[in-house]
Amino acid sequence: MNEITIRKVEVKDILGIIRVINESVMATHTRLYPPKDIQETLDNYTEEKVERYIKEYDYFVAEFNNEIVGCVLAKESKMRSLYVLPSFMGKSLGKRLVEKAEECVKANGYNEIFLWSSLVSHDFYIHMGYEDVKGIENMEGLILHIEMRKIFKP
């Protein structure tokens, strides 16, 4: 049976990553975010920007049958941009990608990991053992992200 594999990104994955992020955001964010903020999130993932992230971050993708179905980034003590394709949600893939980023941050020599959660993924991170640090205000003073952290068990 085919399995979902998690591997380091390659340049050929860029369009697949953008598709995952677009579909994941459109499936989850419309209930809590206004269209302007959704567009701002999607604007962070143009081909040029994803190409730059690939160079600057440890970037991991989940692949199934030659299709990109999830992604996550790590750098120093931070995890970013966790997204799962909607049709692959609820199959422990988000959990596996978080664990991959945590491994990476541990290997970077940190004993804790930080992230900015979207409002829609906050409860997922709580479930994964993360705690709130503070709300992050946007230009209009609205809290649209929450900084969270997890201290690794020794």
Ligand X SMILES: CC(C)(COP(=O)(O)OP(=O)(O)OC[C@H]1O[C@@H](n2cnc3c(N)ncnc32)[C@H](O)[C@@H]1OP(=O)(O)O)[C@@H](O)C(=O)NCCC(=O)NCCS
Residue ranges binding ligand X (CB under 6 A)? 24, 28, 81-84, 89-95, 117-118, 120-121, 123-124, 127
- Minimum distance, C-beta of residue 96 to ligand X, in the bound complex (Å): 7
CA distance 61 to 88: 13
- For the bound state, the minimum distance from the C-beta of residue 19 to ligand X, rounded and expressed in Å, comes to 13
Q: Pick the closer one to ligand X by CB: 28 or 109.
A: 28
Residue with tokens 């205000």: 137
Closest approach of ligand X to the CB of residue 138, in Å: 15
